[in-house]
Amino acid sequence: MKASMRLSEAFIPTLREDPGEAEIVSHRLMIRAGMIRKTAAGIYTYLPLGLRVIRKIERIIREEMAGIGAQELLMPILSPAELWQETARWEHYGKELFRCQDRHDRDFCLGPTHEEIVTDLFRQEVRSYRQLPLTLYQIQTKFRDEIRPRFGLMRGREFIMKDAYSFDTDESTARKSYGQMYDAYQRIFTRSGLDFRAVEADTGLIGGTSSHEFMVLAQTGEEVILFEPEGSYAANVERAEVSPPTESSDESRLPLEKVHTPGTKTIEEVSAFLHTPPHRLIKTLLYQTDQEEVVAVLIRGDHQANEIKIKRQLGVQELTLADPATVQAVTSAPMGFAGPIGLRHIRIIADHAVHALRNGIVGANEADHHFIHANCNRDFTLDMVADLRQAQAGDPSPRNGKPLQATRGIEVGHVFLLGTKYSEKMKAGYLDAHGKEHLTVMGCYGIGVGRTAAAAIEQNHDAKGIMWPLPIAPFHVHLLPVSPTENVLHVTQTLFHELGDAGIEVLWDDRNERAGVKFNDADLIGIPYQVVIGEKGLAHKTVEIKDRRTSTVTQLSPSELVKFFRQF
Amino acid sequence: MKASMRLSEAFIPTLREDPGEAEIVSHRLMIRAGMIRKTAAGIYTYLPLGLRVIRKIERIIREEMAGIGAQELLMPILSPAELWQETARWEHYGKELFRCQDRHDRDFCLGPTHEEIVTDLFRQEVRSYRQLPLTLYQIQTKFRDEIRPRFGLMRGREFIMKDAYSFDTDESTARKSYGQMYDAYQRIFTRSGLDFRAVEADTGLIGGTSSHEFMVLAQTGEEVILFEPEGSYAANVERAEVSPPTESSDESRLPLEKVHTPGTKTIEEVSAFLHTPPHRLIKTLLYQTDQEEVVAVLIRGDHQANEIKIKRQLGVQELTLADPATVQAVTSAPMGFAGPIGLRHIRIIADHAVHALRNGIVGANEADHHFIHANCNRDFTLDMVADLRQAQAGDPSPRNGKPLQATRGIEVGHVFLLGTKYSEKMKAGYLDAHGKEHLTVMGCYGIGVGRTAAAAIEQNHDAKGIMWPLPIAPFHVHLLPVSPTENVLHVTQTLFHELGDAGIEVLWDDRNERAGVKFNDADLIGIPYQVVIGEKGLAHKTVEIKDRRTSTVTQLSPSELVKFFRQF
């Protein structure tokens, strides 16, 4: 596609109506603006306008990767099963992995990520510490067979990702590589014109010791972020640490008492029935682990359990809430009345806030009954006290103790310090200066390129359409001649060439359409600057420049236009 | 990857030894020069140096596509089976199609080409003749499960292709689009610095009415090309037409005679036994078609049958030589003695040269016997006379009658005029100015990007390594400091920055290696210009510029270098 184009010659099929399939604004606007079309569920064709945005983001990524010495390569999409079997991910990845066989019945998957391939390359090509540090990256199509693909490019099954992998001699140099990548990501999203935040994140399935997510802030985001309004700490809500309460209660312990609470099973019901606020209640959650153990987890009534934290504390991979039969067997009571008092043969673990609570209310392991004035260490004992709950707005920051605030975000980038998770399994080592073999310490880093484009729209739109940040806009200037006269045509044509020659990317709406149609399409497509050329303005020797975002209008002589845009 | 790089910081793992797996020079050199590595059979990782070459070719392609108004999009790799079923290619493509299923058991293939996807896009988005002509293209990874992947990037299973599709209102405008693409291909391969030839080609499985292949001329090529040395005609040997002989024989017909030819089955054996040159012999080939018919095909002894031509004349898709049992059943004789005389119940078709032959020698349909002085229309009759044989060097050009010459080539590009083959099956139409519906007339066009890089090496190498054409070379200049002195380091560093600032891409061999090692790697990698900086030269205030291809050496003052390279 040329840097500048005439709309009549461009394949930009805009739609006036919202497409039925689209649930969120970026998906809706990308389809309406003629940027993408669905080929199958979660599988899209990038039309010329969409691809231009993708390419702009890719270019920023490439420049910043080069800036930190990362080298681009391109690994294959077809990924042989043998490599994935070495790390056991062939099994662990489950149904999200697209699998296929070749004509000789050999197994392949379509790469969702490339740790195995790049680690295999490393172990074949790198011998010496002299070749380290090494950071390799690619921009490649990835595949993930999502159970419910949706939201357009936000959660697709085939998507474009930048993935990078760093190899270092030890943990401290690996942290340096991690830091450089972290900084590069900051620059990439800043240069892309996005309002984002790097937050501490859980390391999840991919494993590793340190991790940050880059979140584009948007009310429609699927992720919740907690952050210090005036400090540096920010974390995914699932990751955010909750410090133990600093002050202990001086409330005196009252005698334990069993009360009749007919038909009250939920926190809300018990709270209302006993006229007691939820923060005096204790939820007793019974979980079954992948080790076939049942564990009671105590969480304060106004808090939410965080299963990632619980899993980490228990050292298990899977956790499911116990079914009614198991609850009945363990507590001798129907669901809704479990409590720690008198519970035998299973471990009981509690969140810090439960440990600090005096005179709490717990289930009595008996239908329609609760205990009030329950106190731990007196009425029941705990096998472990830890941070097991979801953090929430108002919780003190683990850094400076001040209350955290909550916002929503879209994950567009993720950096992991992997350690030796893959190099150990795949025996990827190097020889040090003394000829001694060590495992390489790895990091892996991803940016969802299509998702970045979608997130930019979630953050930058209004009722009329997209408002592209200039650095990733498909074009810089939208030329809108609104009078069908020779004079207007001539001025437009001149501007089209002058701006183009100055390196400004122009879309010229040269269609024979009413001004209203042109304005609607221009607002929908969202090119940052609209230049309206009409007889009325030209009578005063001016054209009108409208800033798509602010709607600010500037009147300028056509001859001043190149100079005006050069400032950006 | 930065425009310029230090070798010590670049991941370019060169090898001294030839890799065992590589059969042809481009494959060998791409591996030795650290451009590619095998991940699985026919599946490669492009290392940074290889990817640089790919990107240069891609850039030339994009510029030329923009030049003819083709618009870039990106279609998905996962291609839903339903679309392929509409054109019946889901069945016809056979085992070459990589197939997979998603978690809901829906069938997909990994796109080997995108006619179905793009035609589906067209029929959903294009309504009116006003939107035509339209040419869309992409540069996308393609998949073909080759039965025997080999030759590195030359015949891989996962490969990068530029594929373009044109949509027109009618055949004449479609021919115009085809011509523009043809011209763009000429420019692409010319700009890439390749010696190539556009040749007429068969339209094969993909169907269509007109087709040219772009062949990079190289002795190692798999394809044979016939061309007029001083004219414009050139064709793939499988496609090249053979005109009927213009002069008829004035030899008088001799009486048919059966001769005893014990144990002589091949042309060579019969020719030697009867002391008669092969061009007096007639081969009788018995073919079985996919219509369950057996057909006798007569070809002159010194000619080769062309199965593509035979298929086309018979209007069949498949053709296999009859097995011994069928030959025995049809001719009542063992294999090697089939002939047209007395052959009943099957069609007999002959090449023009057989029709023109007087007093030929044919099998007698009887073990160890042949007929001599066989003449058609007297001793046997023909159901069809046509061009059925392979053209060969020395045959007259179908254009100017002068003898054709033969050369070998590597197919790097292919253009097809498809007609309405796909638009008919998929109902892709448009409305004309009178509101009447028509089918769009399509063309499709491909360039193998990786294969172009490999073909460039086949055409540009010597015993020491690659000799890149400048436009697609991974770097322009290779800086080779050969004395480990402060002075040499300083001059090299200065040149590295000066050349880089001038937009010249430099690879600086900053390794602490002997000059011999550096020269060997430089010749292997094949960057067009080597600049040798040594104490000896600097004593005379010069550095040495060596042209990798011609070995021409120029002595220049370091300060003149930027100016010297700017001329290219």
User: Which pLDDT tens digit goes with each residue over B519-552?
Assistant: 999 999 999 999 999 999 999 999 999 999 999 9
Contact A100 B110 (CB under 8 A): yes
Q: Are A196 and A217 in contact (CB under 8 A)?
A: yes
pLDDT tens for A40-80 read 999 999 999 999 999 999 999 999 999 999 999 999 999 99
For residue A179, the distance in angstroms to the closest alpha carbon of chain B comes to 19
| CA pseudo-torsion sign A346, A352, A357, A362 | negative
The band of A292, judged by pLDDT with boundaries at 50, 70 and 90, is confident
Q: Is B430 at the interface with chain A, CB within 8 A?
A: no
Domain with CATH 3.90.960.10 in chain B: 257-386
Q: Is B325 at the interface with chain A, CB within 8 A?
A: no
Q: Output the CATH code of domain B475-566.
A: 3.40.50.800
For residue B513, the distance in angstroms to the closest alpha carbon of chain A comes to 13
**Per-residue pLDDT at B21:** 79
The radius of gyration computed from the CA coordinates of chain A, to the nearest angstrom, equals: 29
CA atoms within 13 A on the CB side of A512: 1
Domain with CATH 3.30.930.10 in chain B: 5-241+406-458
Give the mean model confidence (pLDDT) for residues B34-62.
97
Q: Are A170 and A38 in contact (CB under 8 A)?
A: no
Q: Where does residue B214 rank: exposed (0-12), middle (13-18), buried (19+ CB within 10 A)?
A: buried
pLDDT tens for B326-337 read 999 999 999 999
pLDDT tens for B505-514 read 999 999 999 9
**C-alpha–C-alpha distance, residues A121 and B37, integer Å:** 8
Give the residue from A76, A74, A79 showing the smallest Cα distance to A102.
A79
**Per-residue pLDDT at B522:** 98
Contact A40 B76 (CB under 8 A): yes
Q: Is A64 at the interface with chain B, CB within 8 A?
A: no
**C-alpha–C-alpha distance, residues A31 and A24, integer Å:** 11
| Residue A389 bridge partners (DSSP) | A305
**C-alpha–C-alpha distance, residues A215 and A194, integer Å:** 10
Q: Which two tokens stand for residue B201?
A: 């080609």
The band of A239, judged by pLDDT with boundaries at 50, 70 and 90, is confident
Closest chain B CA to residue A146:
B103
* Amino acid identity for residue B75 in this structure: M
Contact B40 A69 (CB under 8 A): no
Q: Which two tokens stand for residue B254?
A: 């001799």
pLDDT tens for A366-392 read 999 999 999 999 999 999 999 999 999
**Per-residue pLDDT at A205:** 47
Give the mean model confidence (pLDDT) for residues A398-412.
91
Give the mean model confidence (pLDDT) for residues B392-421.
92
- Chain-centroid distance of CA B388 in Å reads 23
**What is the DSSP code string of A292-348?**
S-EEEEEEETTS-B-HHHHHHHHT-S-EEEPPHHHHHHHHSS-TT---STT--SSEE
Span of A179-193, A316-330, B58-72 with lowest mean pLDDT:
A316-330
Contact B78 A40 (CB under 8 A): yes
Q: Output the CATH code of domain A15-241+406-458.
A: 3.30.930.10
* Partner-chain residue, chosen from B47, B72, B103, that has the shortest CB–CB distance to A73: B47
Give the mean model confidence (pLDDT) for residues B126-155.
95
**C-alpha–C-alpha distance, residues B494 and B26, integer Å:** 34
Closest chain B CA to residue A512:
B130
Contact B74 A51 (CB under 8 A): yes
Q: Which of helix, strand or coil describes residue B344?
A: coil
**Per-residue pLDDT at A183:** 98
Q: Are B564 and B558 in contact (CB under 8 A)?
A: no
Q: How far apart are the first and last CA of chain A?
A: 23
- Other Cβ atoms less than 10 A from the Cβ of A258: the count is 12
Q: Are B356 and B206 in contact (CB under 8 A)?
A: no
Compute the C-alpha angle B457/B463/B468, nearest 5°.
30
For residue A509, the distance in angstroms to the closest alpha carbon of chain B comes to 14
For residue A219, give Cα distances in angstroms to A25, A199, A264, A404, A465: 11, 16, 35, 17, 17
| Residues of chain B above pLDDT 90, percent | 86
Assign domain B5-241+406-458 to its CATH architecture: 2-Layer Sandwich (3.30)
Q: Output the CATH code of domain A257-386.
A: 3.90.960.10
Q: Which two tokens stand for residue A552?
A: 């600010």
Q: Which of helix, strand or coil describes residue B70?
A: coil
Q: Is B553 at the interface with chain A, CB within 8 A?
A: no
**Per-residue pLDDT at B246:** 82
Sorted by sequence, the CB contacts under 8 Å of residue A28 that are 6+ apart come out as A18, A19, A22
Domain with CATH 3.40.50.800 in chain A: 475-566
Q: Which two tokens stand for residue A252?
A: 């005196």
**Per-residue pLDDT at A1:** 52
**C-alpha–C-alpha distance, residues A86 and A543, integer Å:** 65
Tokens 């590069």 sit on residue: A184
Give the mean model confidence (pLDDT) for residues B341-352.
94
Sorted by sequence, the CB contacts under 8 Å of residue A32 that are 6+ apart come out as A14, A15, A16, A17, A18, A19, A465, A524
The band of A229, judged by pLDDT with boundaries at 50, 70 and 90, is confident
Note every long-range contact of B557-566, with CB atoms under 8 Å and residues 24 or more positions apart, other chains counting.
B558/B491, B558/B494, B558/B495, B558/B533, B561/B495, B561/B498, B561/B499, B561/B531, B562/B498, B562/B499, B562/B502, B562/B504, B565/B476, B565/B477, B565/B499, B565/B502, B565/B504, B565/B529, B566/B502, B566/B504
* Spatial strand order in the sheet of A107-110: A78-80, A107-110, A99-101, B99-101, B107-110, B78-80
**C-alpha–C-alpha distance, residues B533 and B513, integer Å:** 14
| CA pseudo-torsion sign A154, A158, A164, A170 | positive
Q: Is B108 at the interface with chain A, CB within 8 A?
A: yes
Closest chain A CA to residue B104:
A147
**C-alpha–C-alpha distance, residues B470 and B480, integer Å:** 18
* Partner-chain residue, chosen from B120, B134, B145, that has the shortest CB–CB distance to A102: B145
| Residues of chain A above pLDDT 70, percent | 98
**Per-residue pLDDT at A209:** 61
* Partner-chain residue, chosen from A9, A78, A100, that has the shortest CB–CB distance to B40: A78
**C-alpha–C-alpha distance, residues B165 and B107, integer Å:** 25
**C-alpha–C-alpha distance, residues A376 and A360, integer Å:** 9
Read off the DSSP letter of residue A442: E
Is the bond preceding A133 in cis, omega lying within 30 degrees of 0?
Answer: yes
Give the mean model confidence (pLDDT) for residues B111-126.
98
CA atoms within 13 A on the CB side of B509: 27
Residue B202: is its pLDDT beyond 80? no
**C-alpha–C-alpha distance, residues B139 and B164, integer Å:** 9
**Per-residue pLDDT at B204:** 56
Read off the DSSP letter of residue B420: T
- Other Cβ atoms less than 10 A from the Cβ of A393: the count is 13
| Residue A289 bridge partners (DSSP) | A319
**C-alpha–C-alpha distance, residues A293 and A348, integer Å:** 12
Interface of B with A in 21-50 (CB under 8 A): 37, 39-40, 43-48
- Other Cβ atoms less than 10 A from the Cβ of B8: the count is 13
Q: Is B54 at the interface with chain A, CB within 8 A?
A: yes
Q: Are A552 and A489 in contact (CB under 8 A)?
A: no
**C-alpha–C-alpha distance, residues B562 and B541, integer Å:** 16
Contact A145 B46 (CB under 8 A): no
Contact B157 A102 (CB under 8 A): yes
Question: Which chain B residues contact residue A66 at CB under 8 A?
Answer: 1-2
* Partner-chain residue, chosen from B11, B39, B76, that has the shortest CB–CB distance to A76: B39
* Amino acid identity for residue B2 in this structure: K
| β-strand pairing of A506-508 with A5-6 | parallel
Q: Where does residue A279 rank: exposed (0-12), middle (13-18), buried (19+ CB within 10 A)?
A: middle
| Residue A555 bridge partners (DSSP) | A544
Read off the DSSP letter of residue B558: G
Q: Which two tokens stand for residue A126?
A: 């790198």
Question: Which chain A residues contact residue B112 at CB under 8 A?
Answer: none
* Amino acid identity for residue B49 in this structure: L
Phi, psi torsion values for A220, nearest 5 degrees = -90, 0
Give the residue from B74, B65, B62 showing the smallest Cα distance to B180.
B65
Sorted by sequence, the CB contacts under 8 Å of residue B314 that are 6+ apart come out as B289, B295, B349
Contact B73 A46 (CB under 8 A): yes
**What is the DSSP code string of B173-220?**
HHHHHHHHHHHHHHHHHHHTT--EEEEE---TTT--SEEEEEEEE-TT
Residue B205: is its pLDDT beyond 50? no
pLDDT tens for A447-483 read 999 999 999 999 999 999 999 999 999 999 999 999 9
**C-alpha–C-alpha distance, residues B239 and B411, integer Å:** 14
Is the bond preceding B133 in cis, omega lying within 30 degrees of 0?
Answer: yes
Closest chain B CA to residue A10:
B71
Q: Are B280 and B366 in contact (CB under 8 A)?
A: no
Sorted by sequence, the CB contacts under 8 Å of residue B29 that are 6+ apart come out as B35, B457, B461, B465, B466, B524, B526
**C-alpha–C-alpha distance, residues B170 and A472, integer Å:** 38
**C-alpha–C-alpha distance, residues A277 and A270, integer Å:** 9
| Residue A225 bridge partners (DSSP) | A236, A407
pTM of the model: 0.89
Contact A72 B39 (CB under 8 A): no
* Spatial strand order in the sheet of A257-260: A257-260, A369-374, A360-363
